[in-house]
């Protein structure tokens, strides 16, 4: 269960690792099912999916929902957000082979003039369930600890240097730590590779700078198959106006992958299940 110390850590650092919420057998099932979906045509169940990302996962694959969205997970979210009235937003995604670079999940809306995420009533959180340990193969999440409390330095888009030939040569001869990159990390905060293991939950604030942890001793393409990166991300929020504003914002995004937010797949099984575990859904 989430303790007062856990909540304080999350508020101060913008992320939280909760150990052993799911069992090894549950993760093994999720990983096996995910591999089946991505290696066959099952991911094509929605035109908004790709062979690396399945959106609105639970409405199409309820067998996954009944494992990754169990009562233990929901109770942990409620304890962290301090409310029993919690909403699961449409933004549930199952992903494979993804290593996004540094970003904040509020940059796009802020660029478009939205500021609802700056309200003290904006109480939303992302939850990642990684189906492999975050080890030398890079199976999890890295964060800039405390960055949720700082202005968004990603708004300009020039926080990383251009990867010119000269930059690559210089970086190989004199590698610079990301923590020392003044554009990426102007406030000199600590960068953390969250040491998640199979069965853990990884929570992070929308305004926390984060990226996929990169393999340490080999190229991404050389990661062995049994360590290939797979995860499910759920987005939860307190049932209030700010959460609804975020969901409305999703519906305005022009990227094809966000079409699911405007064109919801109907699932009576999803509706019945979320009600049975005391979870609202938009």
The tens digit of pLDDT for each residue in 257-278 reads 999 999 999 999 999 999 999 9
For 132, phi and psi rounded to 5 degrees? -160, 155
Whether 171 has a pLDDT exceeding 70, the answer reads no
Element (H, E) at 144: strand 141-144
Whether 29 has a pLDDT exceeding 80, the answer reads yes
Cα(223)–Cα(225) distance, integer angstroms: 6
Q: What is the structure's pLDDT at 178?
A: 87
Cα(115)–Cα(249) distance, integer angstroms: 11
CB-based burial, 12-31: b 16+ in 10 Å, e otherwise: ebbbbbbeebbeeebbebbb
Give the residue-averaged pLDDT of 32-43: 97
Angle between helices 71-81 and 4-13 (to 10 degrees): 70
Q: What is the structure's pLDDT at 36?
A: 98
Q: Which residue has the higher pLDDT, 166 or 228?
A: 228
Whether 159 has a pLDDT exceeding 70, the answer reads no
Confidence of residue 156 (pLDDT cuts 50, 70, 90): confident
Give the residue-averaged pLDDT of 15-42: 97
Q: What is the structure's pLDDT at 201?
A: 98
Whether 114 has a pLDDT exceeding 60, the answer reads yes
Domains of the chain listed by start with CATH number? 4-150+189-238+245-281 (2.60.120.620)
Confidence of residue 163 (pLDDT cuts 50, 70, 90): low
Whether 183 has a pLDDT exceeding 90, the answer reads no
* 13: Cβ contacts below 8 Å, ≥ 6 apart: 143, 145, 146
Whether 182 has a pLDDT exceeding 80, the answer reads yes
Alpha carbon 49 to chain centroid distance? Answer: 17
> Which pTM does this prediction carry?
0.92
């Amino acid at each position: 269960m989430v303790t007062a110390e856990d909540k304080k850590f999350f508020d101060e650092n913008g992320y939280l690792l909760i150990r052993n919420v799911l069992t090894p057998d549950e993760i093994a099932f999720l990983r096996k099912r995910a591999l089946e979906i991505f290696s066959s045509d099952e991911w094509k169940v929605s035109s908004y999916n790709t062979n690396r990302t399945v959106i609105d996962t639970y409405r199409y694959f309820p067998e996954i929902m009944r494992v990754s969205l169990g009562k233990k997970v929901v109770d942990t979210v409620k304890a962290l957000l301090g409310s029993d009235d919690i909403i699961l937003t449409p933004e549930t995604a199952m992903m494979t082979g993804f290593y996004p670079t540094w970003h904040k999940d509020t940059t796009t809306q802020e660029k478009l003039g939205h500021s609802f995420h700056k309200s003290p009533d904006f109480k939303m959180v992302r939850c990642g369930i990684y189906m492999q340990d975050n080890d030398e193969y890079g199976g999890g999440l890295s964060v800039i600890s405390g960055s949720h409390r700082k202005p968004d330095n990603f708004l300009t888009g020039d926080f990383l240097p251009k990867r010119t030939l000269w930059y690559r040569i210089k970086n190989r001869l004199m590698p610079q730590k990301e923590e020392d990159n003044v554009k990426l990390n102007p406030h000199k905060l600590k960068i953390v590779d969250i040491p998640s293991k199979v069965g853990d939950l990884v929570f992070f604030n929308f305004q926390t700078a984060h990226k996929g942890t990169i393999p340490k001793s080999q190229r991404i393409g050389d990661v062995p198959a049994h360590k290939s990166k797979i995860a499910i991300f759920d987005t939860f929020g307190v049932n209030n106006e700010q959460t609804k504003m975020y969901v409305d914002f999703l519906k305005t995004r022009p990227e094809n992958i966000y079409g699911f937010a405007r064109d919801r797949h109907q699932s009576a099984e999803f509706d019945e299940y979320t009600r049975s575990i005391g979870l609202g859904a938009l």
